[in-house]
Amino acid sequence: MSQSILYTNAPDLISPRGHYSHCVSANGFVFISGQLPVDSLGVVKAHCSFAEQAKLVLSNLTACLTAAEITTQHLVQVRVYIADMNNWPVFNEIYAQWIGNFRPARAVAGVSELHFGSAIEIEATAIIA
């Protein structure tokens, strides 16, 4: 049995600067790389408030879903890393507005540091529509 793997980058985001793709589709799943608060021009927004960073990261995640031709309803797991667990309630409110009525599995983990000094990073897994 042959397996195909599709590597996709979201056209609305800056191309990855490392050795990865925004999305990898394989065996009925889409794996979305960790998204940081980086705008479409590649400007890191780690200096912005936590809420602004969270909204930008979720917007980047949406761009990845769109590039994979799926939506939030296809998410099966979301992994969130935040540098200050005191921001969990703020994130939870923003996330609830973004995700709507869908309830994928989710983890929110406190970490000591994220790339660029960011306050949040999100990666996800979805099913192919």
pLDDT value for 3: 78
pTM, whole model, 2 decimals? 0.95
Question: What band does 1 get if pLDDT is binned at 50, 70 and 90?
Answer: very low
First vs last C-alpha separation in the chain: 21
pLDDT value for 71: 97
Give 80's strand partners.
Answer: 108, 122
Please write the tens of the pLDDT for every residue from 6-47: 999 999 999 998 899 999 999 999 999 999 999 999 999 999
Class of domain 5-127: alpha beta
Residue 2 above 80 pLDDT? no
- Domain definitions of the chain by residue range: 5-127
Distances from the Cα of 7 to the Cα of 22, 61, 105, 127, angstroms: 8, 16, 24, 15
